[in-house]
Structure formats: C-alpha cells, structure tokens
C-alpha cells in the first residue's frame, strides 16, 4: 500500500508524507474475498478497520439465528473505532465482505505503539474519526426523522 492510496481519503487528509509513512509502519493492508467473514459478532473488537475499496455488510444475528444486514460500509467508511478509545468489548455485529475488499487496519496493540511514537499523526487521525462519526450520526438521525414522519403519516393523528 502506498502513501498515494491513503492520501485520497478524508481520514488521512491532514497528514504529510512522513505522517502517512509512519501510519503505514503500524498498519496492515489486507484483502478479503467476497463472502469472507471479517469479524464475528461476539468476538472482541480489534482496532480501526478502514475500507479502501469494496463493500462490507454489517450483520446482526436475529432470534432464531438468521442474520440481518443492518448496514453496508463502502470505501472511506470505518469500523472498530471504539476499541481505540477504551476497553475492548465484544462486537455487536459481524462484518462480511460483500465484494472484494481492500482495507487499512490498525489493531489495538499497534495503535498503542503509534500513540507512543506519533502523537501528532494520531491526534489528526482521531479528529477525522470524530468528524466521520459525527457525520454518520447526523445522517442516520436524518434517516430516522424521515422514517418517523412516514410512520406518523401512516398512523394518522393520535387520539387523545
């Protein structure tokens, strides 16, 4: 994976070549074939998983064992950020490659090493993670508002 691969993504836009190279020292570049389970629901969260190419399904097991697709992540999306901010917890969802997927992955241990050697780079990445989470939340909140309005219209006026 080259510096130029990362430069086109928002998460890395504040880093210069030296900062990007430092991040690459601590990260892994991985590929997953379509249909491959990347993380299983119930497993421990394992670091920041950033999608460079492809699509990943976010799945949640339902009663009876069936899996439901609750989201699809695309290039520029990320998962696992909560493991960077505190205790490692069990995943509430599974991730499965929907297409061939190429990712930048920095596991929790390597994140701690980057924290000790590159606080400047890390603070820039964390700021972009927070901005990304805020934008995702804002988008999901807007979707929720639309669905709520549609439900209210379907149900008609509430009786008092």
At 118 the pLDDT is 62
Q: Does the predicted TM-score (pTM) go above 0.75?
A: no
- 3-153 adopts what CATH topology? Jelly Rolls (2.60.120)
At 4 the pLDDT is 78
How do the domains of the chain map onto residue ranges?
A: 3-153
pLDDT at 124 over 70: no
What lies within 8 Å, CB to CB, of 63 at 6+ separation is none
Per-residue pLDDT reduced to its tens digit, 129-152? 766 767 677 777 777 788 888 888
What lies within 8 Å, CB to CB, of 51 at 6+ separation is 73, 74, 75, 76, 77, 78, 101, 102, 103
Per-residue pLDDT reduced to its tens digit, 35-73? 999 989 888 877 888 899 999 999 999 888 889 999 999
| Rounded-to-integer distance, Cα 91 and Cα 83, Å | 10
At 127 the pLDDT is 61
In order, the DSSP letters of 69-118 are EEEEEETT-EE-THHHHS---B-SSEEEESS-EEEEEE-HHHHHHHHHH-
Cβ atoms within 10 Å, residue 4: 9
Distances (CA, A) of 68 to 75, 77, 89, 128: 21, 20, 21, 29
């Amino acid at each position: 994976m080259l510096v130029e691969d990362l430069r086109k993504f928002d998460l890395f836009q504040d880093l210069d070549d030296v900062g990007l190279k430092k991040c690459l020292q601590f990260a892994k570049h991985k590929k997953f074939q379509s249909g491959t389970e990347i993380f299983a629901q119930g497993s421990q969260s394992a670091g920041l998983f950033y999608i460079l190419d492809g699509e990943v399904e976010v799945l949640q097991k339902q009663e009876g064992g069936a899996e439901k697709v609750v989201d699809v992540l695309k290039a520029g999306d990320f998962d696992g950020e909560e493991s960077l901010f505190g205790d490692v917890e069990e995943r509430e969802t599974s991730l499965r490659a929907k297409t061939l997927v190429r990712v930048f992955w920095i596991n929790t241990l390597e994140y701690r090493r980057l924290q000790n050697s590159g606080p400047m780079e890390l603070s820039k990445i964390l700021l972009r993670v927070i901005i990304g989470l805020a934008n995702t939340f804002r988008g999901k909140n807007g979707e929720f508002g639309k669905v709520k309005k549609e439900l209210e219209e379907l149900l008609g006026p509430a009786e008092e």
